[in-house]
Structure 1
């Protein structure tokens, strides 16, 4: 089936879970991580979806939850905000690091800070369970590429390293977007899941979806997703189409189909 037909079929499921990445999916990238804004078409559509019966909406991001609230303008009364790949969400939440995990995080911190110091413009972002080496502001592209590779393959026992767009993320916990989607599907009783994302970390989410679900990759690059939209604007239009389809052709719990 093409995307329109698949979307219509999934939108009719009795209990739908809609999950979206944020940066590169709902908002364009910026060298200042807090100078971004949510695509207005997507924002309206997600709010509409979240208000429908038997429809859960989540933003699942590598950002920590407080940062996600700041850039999106949403809070938990609007929809589910799953920060740190879900580790900070009430669904699948990690309560505290063990002493061993804290030691791993400390080693990630040391390694990333040493690497960041080697190229002007690089910096390390501190999150509750992660450290993120940012290279989008690096002034020397060749040096930044070298640092990127070294960070991506750093020898830190117990660390979970994830390269992304202009970043390398190091975590002391094994929580991926796929892990969170699997937990959320079960906890929320979703009969189908839609996941939209653009980055390498989103591939973990795409990988856990089944034949009755819908996965959409934003932008270019190899992917496990079933379908693709070209950019953030295309993602916004997808969510608008989904909201209309869910409203008109939704499952048993959606108003007008009870």
Structure 2
């Protein structure tokens, strides 16, 4: 959902470069919408809130207002959609992590203690840079960093959960305005395409994780991209599908397009896309583990 409800003021009446409108937040708005959110969840059918009730019993400290606010922001303060996303999140979290880990803290030594291999492979990597005009964080997605001999589908999917939460935590801009995905298909092989994996990942993104994707730049798509995209579209909502931009051609042409049309200069792009950012993903993971994150 890109348009806030009528009772939510806007930062601007004009959509931004990604076609999004952003709520003008205030303490009063947040307080009111959180109250509406709580009431809506209470009235939802029991079969839809079973996961939420388990979380309330087993990890109530994780269910604070800051956590719930991420879901409201993901749905630009549409309370009904945010509440449904919140309930779907807990349903999926229990399904993906199992009852023994689903309620643990979302840290490398907690809920992700069995996923270090998949996380270190770097299927998804926060770049530590931001879209110059909006401050949205950039995330690199490299499908070639999949190796089914080293991880299960479930573990790779959980690695996606870790990356999303690491980017969203304590980052108001990421929560309010979304993130920019930069996908490189340069070295991916057809054998690495896994329909079941794609379905699992997309189910976590669409209507589940409190992630607002502003735009996904698919750079240097492989020859079989049309087949992959046809499958992906089955699991993505209309809003996310409309956010995908495909960039083909030489390195020079792709970089020029990203800068001229989207304001993504070389100094915010990774070397994988002829940018200036050298990503030390494993070093980033180690620092987070040492910090207890």
Give the TM-score category using the shorter length.
0.3 to 0.5
State the TM-score, normalized to the length of structure 1. Answer: 0.32
Q: Which has the higher contact order (CA 8 A, sep 6+)?
A: 1
State the TM-score, normalized to the length of structure 2. Answer: 0.29
More strand by proportion, 1 or 2? 1
